[in-house]
Structure 1
Protein backbone atom coordinates (compact mmCIF):
# COMPACT_ATOMS: atom_id res chain seq x y z
CA UNK A 1 0.00 0.00 0.00
CA UNK A 2 1.36 3.41 -0.97
CA UNK A 3 0.88 6.08 1.70
CA UNK A 4 0.21 9.59 0.31
CA UNK A 5 2.94 12.14 1.05
CA UNK A 6 0.69 14.30 3.27
CA UNK A 7 -0.37 11.28 5.32
CA UNK A 8 3.27 10.19 5.73
CA UNK A 9 4.17 13.66 7.04
CA UNK A 10 1.35 13.60 9.60
CA UNK A 11 2.23 10.05 10.69
CA UNK A 12 5.86 11.14 11.17
CA UNK A 13 4.67 14.21 13.12
CA UNK A 14 2.69 11.99 15.51
CA UNK A 15 5.68 9.68 16.01
CA UNK A 16 8.24 12.46 16.48
CA UNK A 17 6.26 15.05 18.44
CA UNK A 18 3.40 13.31 20.25
CA UNK A 19 5.28 10.11 21.06
CA UNK A 20 8.99 11.02 21.08
CA UNK A 21 8.61 14.59 22.45
CA UNK A 22 10.82 16.11 19.75
CA UNK A 23 9.57 19.69 20.13
CA UNK A 24 12.38 20.95 17.89
CA UNK A 25 10.80 18.94 15.06
CA UNK A 26 7.63 21.04 15.23
CA UNK A 27 9.41 23.77 13.27
CA UNK A 28 10.15 21.22 10.53
CA UNK A 29 6.57 19.94 10.35
CA UNK A 30 4.53 23.12 10.87
CA UNK A 31 4.13 26.59 9.41
CA UNK A 32 5.20 29.38 11.74
CA UNK A 33 1.57 30.58 11.97
CA UNK A 34 0.08 27.09 12.50
CA UNK A 35 -3.38 27.13 14.12
CA UNK A 36 -4.89 24.53 16.47
CA UNK A 37 -8.68 24.66 16.79
CA UNK A 38 -10.22 22.87 19.79
CA UNK A 39 -13.92 23.15 20.72
CA UNK A 40 -14.46 25.12 23.91
CA UNK A 41 -10.95 26.61 23.86
CA UNK A 42 -9.29 29.62 22.32
CA UNK A 43 -7.44 28.79 19.11
CA UNK A 44 -3.72 28.30 19.63
CA UNK A 45 -1.81 30.23 16.96
CA UNK A 46 1.87 30.07 16.06
CA UNK A 47 4.77 27.75 16.73
CA UNK A 48 5.33 28.90 20.32
CA UNK A 49 1.73 28.16 21.31
CA UNK A 50 1.79 24.85 19.44
CA UNK A 51 5.03 23.78 21.15
CA UNK A 52 3.69 24.82 24.57
CA UNK A 53 0.51 22.81 23.98
CA UNK A 54 2.54 19.62 23.55
CA UNK A 55 4.93 20.45 26.41
CA UNK A 56 1.91 20.92 28.70
CA UNK A 57 0.41 17.63 27.51
CA UNK A 58 3.67 15.78 28.21
CA UNK A 59 4.07 17.42 31.64
CA UNK A 60 0.60 16.13 32.52
CA UNK A 61 1.27 12.69 30.97
CA UNK A 62 5.04 12.02 30.80
CA UNK A 63 4.42 8.58 29.27
CA UNK A 64 1.85 9.87 26.77
CA UNK A 65 1.47 7.70 23.69
CA UNK A 66 -0.68 8.09 20.57
CA UNK A 67 -1.58 5.13 18.38
CA UNK A 68 -3.01 5.86 14.95
CA UNK A 69 -6.11 3.70 14.56
CA UNK A 70 -7.23 5.16 11.21
CA UNK A 71 -5.80 7.66 8.74
CA UNK A 72 -7.51 9.20 5.73
CA UNK A 73 -5.87 11.55 3.25
CA UNK A 74 -7.70 13.69 0.70
CA UNK A 75 -6.01 16.57 -1.06
CA UNK A 76 -4.54 18.95 1.50
CA UNK A 77 -6.32 17.25 4.45
CA UNK A 78 -5.32 14.28 6.59
CA UNK A 79 -7.71 12.89 9.19
CA UNK A 80 -6.63 10.68 12.08
CA UNK A 81 -8.47 8.62 14.67
CA UNK A 82 -6.14 8.17 17.64
CA UNK A 83 -6.06 5.98 20.74
CA UNK A 84 -4.28 7.95 23.48
CA UNK A 85 -2.80 6.64 26.72
CA UNK A 86 -0.80 8.05 29.60
CA UNK A 87 -0.37 8.34 33.34
CA UNK A 88 -1.59 11.56 34.97
CA UNK A 89 1.54 12.82 36.74
CA UNK A 90 1.23 16.58 36.22
CA UNK A 91 -1.41 19.33 36.43
CA UNK A 92 -4.13 19.09 33.80
CA UNK A 93 -7.17 21.35 33.38
CA UNK A 94 -6.59 22.66 36.89
CA UNK A 95 -6.47 19.14 38.36
CA UNK A 96 -3.59 17.98 40.52
CA UNK A 97 -1.79 14.77 39.47
CA UNK A 98 -3.64 11.58 40.36
CA UNK A 99 -1.23 8.88 39.17
CA UNK A 100 -4.13 7.38 37.22
CA UNK A 101 -3.45 5.58 33.93
CA UNK A 102 -5.91 6.77 31.30
CA UNK A 103 -6.94 5.92 27.78
CA UNK A 104 -9.10 8.08 25.56
CA UNK A 105 -9.69 8.84 21.90
CA UNK A 106 -9.17 11.81 19.64
CA UNK A 107 -9.93 12.75 16.07
CA UNK A 108 -7.75 15.31 14.34
CA UNK A 109 -7.99 16.80 10.88
CA UNK A 110 -4.81 18.43 9.61
CA UNK A 111 -4.64 20.88 6.72
CA UNK A 112 -1.29 20.99 4.98
CA UNK A 113 0.16 23.73 2.81
CA UNK A 114 3.51 23.60 1.02
CA UNK A 115 4.36 20.30 2.69
CA UNK A 116 3.77 21.53 6.25
CA UNK A 117 0.94 21.49 8.78
CA UNK A 118 -0.90 24.82 8.58
CA UNK A 119 -3.98 24.07 10.66
CA UNK A 120 -5.56 21.36 12.78
CA UNK A 121 -9.01 20.69 14.16
CA UNK A 122 -8.75 18.60 17.31
CA UNK A 123 -11.61 16.76 19.03
CA UNK A 124 -10.88 14.52 22.01
CA UNK A 125 -12.96 12.63 24.55
CA UNK A 126 -12.45 15.08 27.42
CA UNK A 127 -15.52 13.79 29.26
CA UNK A 128 -14.12 10.25 29.27
CA UNK A 129 -10.72 11.56 30.34
CA UNK A 130 -12.18 13.58 33.23
CA UNK A 131 -14.24 10.59 34.38
CA UNK A 132 -11.11 8.44 34.51
CA UNK A 133 -9.42 11.14 36.60
CA UNK A 134 -12.44 11.17 38.96
CA UNK A 135 -12.87 14.84 38.11
CA UNK A 136 -16.64 14.47 37.55
Structure 2
Protein backbone atom coordinates (compact mmCIF):
# COMPACT_ATOMS: atom_id res chain seq x y z
CA UNK A 1 0.00 0.00 0.00
CA UNK A 2 1.31 3.46 -0.90
CA UNK A 3 2.23 5.75 1.97
CA UNK A 4 2.25 9.54 2.27
CA UNK A 5 3.85 11.66 4.95
CA UNK A 6 2.77 15.28 5.51
CA UNK A 7 5.20 17.56 7.33
CA UNK A 8 3.88 20.86 8.71
CA UNK A 9 6.16 23.62 9.87
CA UNK A 10 6.35 27.37 10.42
CA UNK A 11 9.24 29.25 8.84
CA UNK A 12 10.01 32.38 6.86
CA UNK A 13 13.22 30.81 5.50
CA UNK A 14 11.68 28.99 2.54
CA UNK A 15 14.72 29.47 0.31
CA UNK A 16 16.95 27.86 2.93
CA UNK A 17 14.44 25.02 3.30
CA UNK A 18 14.44 24.41 -0.46
CA UNK A 19 18.25 24.38 -0.52
CA UNK A 20 18.19 21.87 2.31
CA UNK A 21 15.85 19.60 0.33
CA UNK A 22 18.10 19.87 -2.74
CA UNK A 23 21.09 18.87 -0.63
CA UNK A 24 19.24 15.86 0.79
CA UNK A 25 18.10 14.75 -2.68
CA UNK A 26 21.66 14.93 -3.99
CA UNK A 27 23.23 13.13 -1.04
CA UNK A 28 20.69 10.28 -1.01
CA UNK A 29 20.69 9.64 -4.75
CA UNK A 30 20.38 5.92 -5.45
CA UNK A 31 19.36 5.13 -1.86
CA UNK A 32 16.32 7.21 -0.99
CA UNK A 33 12.92 5.53 -1.28
CA UNK A 34 10.82 8.69 -1.59
CA UNK A 35 9.27 8.84 -5.04
CA UNK A 36 7.64 12.28 -5.08
CA UNK A 37 7.74 15.38 -2.90
CA UNK A 38 5.80 18.65 -2.98
CA UNK A 39 6.57 21.73 -0.87
CA UNK A 40 3.75 24.28 -0.62
CA UNK A 41 2.96 27.44 1.31
CA UNK A 42 -0.38 28.39 2.83
CA UNK A 43 -1.94 31.31 0.92
CA UNK A 44 -3.47 32.57 4.18
CA UNK A 45 -0.18 32.30 6.09
CA UNK A 46 3.01 32.21 4.00
CA UNK A 47 5.04 31.08 7.03
CA UNK A 48 2.97 27.90 7.14
CA UNK A 49 4.87 25.42 4.96
CA UNK A 50 3.62 21.95 4.10
CA UNK A 51 5.76 19.21 2.60
CA UNK A 52 4.06 16.13 1.13
CA UNK A 53 6.31 13.13 0.51
CA UNK A 54 5.17 9.93 -1.21
CA UNK A 55 6.59 6.43 -0.73
CA UNK A 56 5.74 3.01 -2.21
CA UNK A 57 4.93 1.73 1.31
CA UNK A 58 5.28 2.46 5.03
CA UNK A 59 8.22 0.05 5.17
CA UNK A 60 10.03 1.97 2.43
CA UNK A 61 9.38 5.22 4.30
CA UNK A 62 11.01 3.74 7.39
CA UNK A 63 14.03 2.73 5.29
CA UNK A 64 14.23 6.31 4.07
CA UNK A 65 14.08 7.63 7.64
CA UNK A 66 16.98 5.39 8.66
CA UNK A 67 19.37 7.05 6.20
CA UNK A 68 21.96 9.12 8.11
CA UNK A 69 21.44 12.02 5.69
CA UNK A 70 17.72 12.07 6.50
CA UNK A 71 18.41 12.39 10.22
CA UNK A 72 20.97 15.15 9.70
CA UNK A 73 18.77 17.12 7.30
CA UNK A 74 15.83 16.81 9.69
CA UNK A 75 17.87 18.36 12.52
CA UNK A 76 18.86 21.22 10.21
CA UNK A 77 15.23 21.62 9.16
CA UNK A 78 14.14 21.94 12.81
CA UNK A 79 16.67 24.75 13.20
CA UNK A 80 15.00 26.66 10.34
CA UNK A 81 11.50 26.39 11.85
CA UNK A 82 9.84 28.60 14.45
CA UNK A 83 8.64 25.48 16.26
CA UNK A 84 9.14 21.71 15.86
CA UNK A 85 7.53 20.32 12.67
CA UNK A 86 4.54 18.01 13.00
CA UNK A 87 4.11 14.78 11.01
CA UNK A 88 0.98 13.09 9.66
CA UNK A 89 1.36 9.51 8.38
CA UNK A 90 -1.21 8.41 5.79
CA UNK A 91 -1.93 5.07 4.15
CA UNK A 92 -3.27 5.75 0.63
CA UNK A 93 -6.68 4.16 0.02
CA UNK A 94 -7.41 5.91 -3.28
CA UNK A 95 -5.13 7.60 -5.79
CA UNK A 96 -6.93 9.03 -8.81
CA UNK A 97 -4.87 10.83 -11.42
CA UNK A 98 -7.53 12.35 -13.63
CA UNK A 99 -5.41 13.30 -16.65
CA UNK A 100 -3.94 9.79 -16.85
CA UNK A 101 -7.41 8.28 -16.74
CA UNK A 102 -8.63 10.56 -19.54
CA UNK A 103 -5.60 9.81 -21.73
CA UNK A 104 -6.09 6.05 -21.40
CA UNK A 105 -9.83 6.40 -22.01
CA UNK A 106 -9.23 8.22 -25.32
CA UNK A 107 -7.13 5.35 -26.67
CA UNK A 108 -9.54 2.71 -25.36
CA UNK A 109 -12.57 4.41 -26.90
CA UNK A 110 -10.85 5.01 -30.25
CA UNK A 111 -10.09 1.29 -30.35
CA UNK A 112 -13.83 0.65 -29.95
CA UNK A 113 -14.57 2.98 -32.87
CA UNK A 114 -16.08 5.65 -30.60
CA UNK A 115 -14.92 8.85 -32.28
CA UNK A 116 -17.28 10.81 -30.03
CA UNK A 117 -14.66 10.57 -27.28
CA UNK A 118 -12.71 13.22 -29.19
CA UNK A 119 -15.48 15.78 -28.65
CA UNK A 120 -15.76 14.77 -24.99
CA UNK A 121 -12.07 14.90 -24.08
CA UNK A 122 -10.32 17.19 -26.55
CA UNK A 123 -10.47 20.96 -26.89
CA UNK A 124 -12.13 22.33 -30.02
CA UNK A 125 -8.77 23.82 -31.10
CA UNK A 126 -6.82 20.65 -30.30
CA UNK A 127 -3.60 20.32 -32.33
CA UNK A 128 -2.29 16.87 -33.25
CA UNK A 129 1.31 16.12 -34.23
CA UNK A 130 1.52 12.64 -35.75
CA UNK A 131 4.99 11.87 -37.10
CA UNK A 132 3.43 9.20 -39.29
CA UNK A 133 1.28 11.76 -41.11
CA UNK A 134 1.95 14.81 -43.24
CA UNK A 135 1.39 17.98 -41.26
CA UNK A 136 -0.62 18.61 -38.12
CA UNK A 137 -4.32 18.01 -37.65
CA UNK A 138 -5.64 21.31 -36.31
CA UNK A 139 -8.95 21.17 -34.48
CA UNK A 140 -10.86 18.28 -32.94
CA UNK A 141 -12.81 17.77 -36.18
CA UNK A 142 -9.59 17.36 -38.19
CA UNK A 143 -8.24 14.87 -35.67
CA UNK A 144 -11.49 12.93 -35.81
CA UNK A 145 -11.13 12.68 -39.58
CA UNK A 146 -7.55 11.45 -39.20
CA UNK A 147 -8.62 8.78 -36.71
CA UNK A 148 -11.53 7.64 -38.87
CA UNK A 149 -9.04 6.35 -41.47
CA UNK A 150 -7.64 3.89 -38.91
CA UNK A 151 -11.02 3.02 -37.38
CA UNK A 152 -12.51 2.25 -40.80
CA UNK A 153 -9.52 0.20 -42.00
CA UNK A 154 -8.64 -1.82 -38.88
CA UNK A 155 -10.07 -3.70 -35.95
CA UNK A 156 -7.56 -2.82 -33.24
CA UNK A 157 -6.78 -2.44 -29.58
CA UNK A 158 -4.15 -0.61 -27.52
CA UNK A 159 -2.22 -2.39 -24.79
CA UNK A 160 -0.93 0.34 -22.48
CA UNK A 161 2.58 -0.63 -21.37
CA UNK A 162 3.24 2.40 -19.17
CA UNK A 163 1.74 5.75 -18.27
CA UNK A 164 3.61 8.74 -16.87
CA UNK A 165 2.35 12.16 -15.80
CA UNK A 166 4.43 15.31 -15.38
CA UNK A 167 2.70 18.62 -14.81
CA UNK A 168 0.01 19.05 -17.47
CA UNK A 169 1.36 16.28 -19.72
CA UNK A 170 0.67 12.54 -19.80
CA UNK A 171 2.80 10.09 -21.79
CA UNK A 172 1.53 6.63 -22.75
CA UNK A 173 3.70 3.85 -24.16
CA UNK A 174 1.59 1.36 -26.05
CA UNK A 175 1.42 -1.65 -28.32
CA UNK A 176 -1.16 -1.52 -31.12
CA UNK A 177 -2.60 -4.86 -32.24
CA UNK A 178 -4.70 -4.64 -35.38
CA UNK A 179 -6.25 -6.62 -38.22
CA UNK A 180 -6.83 -4.89 -41.55
CA UNK A 181 -10.47 -5.06 -42.65
CA UNK A 182 -10.64 -2.41 -45.39
CA UNK A 183 -8.42 -0.42 -47.75
CA UNK A 184 -5.82 1.77 -46.06
CA UNK A 185 -3.69 4.41 -47.78
CA UNK A 186 -4.39 2.82 -51.14
CA UNK A 187 -3.66 -0.73 -49.96
CA UNK A 188 -6.62 -3.10 -50.45
CA UNK A 189 -7.73 -5.07 -47.43
CA UNK A 190 -5.25 -7.85 -46.71
CA UNK A 191 -6.83 -9.36 -43.62
CA UNK A 192 -3.35 -9.29 -42.09
CA UNK A 193 -2.76 -8.93 -38.38
CA UNK A 194 -0.17 -6.28 -37.59
CA UNK A 195 1.58 -4.94 -34.51
CA UNK A 196 2.72 -1.37 -33.91
CA UNK A 197 4.57 0.18 -30.99
CA UNK A 198 4.85 3.79 -30.00
CA UNK A 199 4.18 6.55 -27.52
CA UNK A 200 1.56 9.27 -27.25
CA UNK A 201 2.01 12.42 -25.17
CA UNK A 202 -1.03 14.56 -24.41
CA UNK A 203 -0.93 18.10 -23.00
CA UNK A 204 -3.93 19.06 -20.88
CA UNK A 205 -5.48 22.43 -20.15
CA UNK A 206 -8.53 22.91 -17.90
CA UNK A 207 -9.20 19.17 -17.93
CA UNK A 208 -9.26 18.89 -21.74
CA UNK A 209 -6.55 17.58 -24.08
CA UNK A 210 -5.07 20.57 -25.88
CA UNK A 211 -2.24 19.00 -27.86
CA UNK A 212 -0.92 15.56 -28.75
CA UNK A 213 2.28 14.00 -30.11
CA UNK A 214 2.36 10.48 -31.62
CA UNK A 215 5.66 8.74 -32.26
CA UNK A 216 5.42 5.22 -33.61
CA UNK A 217 6.95 2.71 -36.04
CA UNK A 218 5.30 3.80 -39.29
CA UNK A 219 7.86 1.94 -41.43
CA UNK A 220 7.15 -1.27 -39.53
CA UNK A 221 3.44 -1.00 -40.26
CA UNK A 222 4.06 -0.37 -43.96
CA UNK A 223 6.34 -3.41 -44.17
CA UNK A 224 3.78 -5.65 -42.44
CA UNK A 225 1.08 -4.54 -44.88
CA UNK A 226 3.35 -5.08 -47.87
CA UNK A 227 3.46 -1.39 -48.76
CA UNK A 228 7.27 -1.51 -48.86
CA UNK A 229 9.95 -4.22 -48.88
CA UNK A 230 10.64 -5.96 -45.55
Q: TM-score, normalised by structure 1?
A: 0.91
| 8 Å CA contact 2:182, 2:188 repeated in 1 | yes
Aligned to 1:116: 208
Q: Tell me, in whole angstroms, the C-alpha distance in 2 between the residues paired with 1:60 and 1:21.
A: 11
For 2:182, what is the secondary structure of its paired residue? coil
Aligned to 1:87: 179
Aligned to 1:48: 141
Q: Deviations over 1:36-82 (max 9, x none)?
A: 10225110011111111121111110x11111111100110000111
Q: Tell me, in whole angstroms, the C-alpha distance in 1 between the residues paired with 2:198 and 2:96.
A: 21
The CA deviation at 1:20 is: 1.9
1:78 to 162, 167, 170: 170
The CA deviation at 1:3 is: 4.2
Aligned to 2:188: 96
Number of aligned residues: 134
Q: Tell me, in whole angstroms, the C-alpha distance in 1 between the residues paired with 2:144 and 2:188.
A: 22
Rg bigger for which structure? Answer: 2
The CA deviation at 1:91 is: 2.2
Q: Tell me, in whole angstroms, the C-alpha distance in 1 between the residues paired with 2:96 and 2:187.
A: 40
The unaligned stretches of length 5 or more in structure 1 are none
Q: Tell me, in whole angstroms, the C-alpha distance in 2 between the residues paired with 1:35 and 1:99.
A: 32
The CA deviation at 1:93 is: 2.5
TM superposition outliers: structure 1 runs of 4+ over 4 Å: none
For 1:59, what is the secondary structure of its paired residue? helix
| 8 Å CA contact 2:128, 2:138 repeated in 1 | yes
Matched, 1:58 2:151: yes
Matched, 1:31 2:123: yes
Q: Tell me, in whole angstroms, the C-alpha distance in 2 between the residues paired with 1:59 and 1:30.
A: 21
Q: TM-score, normalised by structure 2?
A: 0.55
The CA deviation at 1:25 is: 2.2
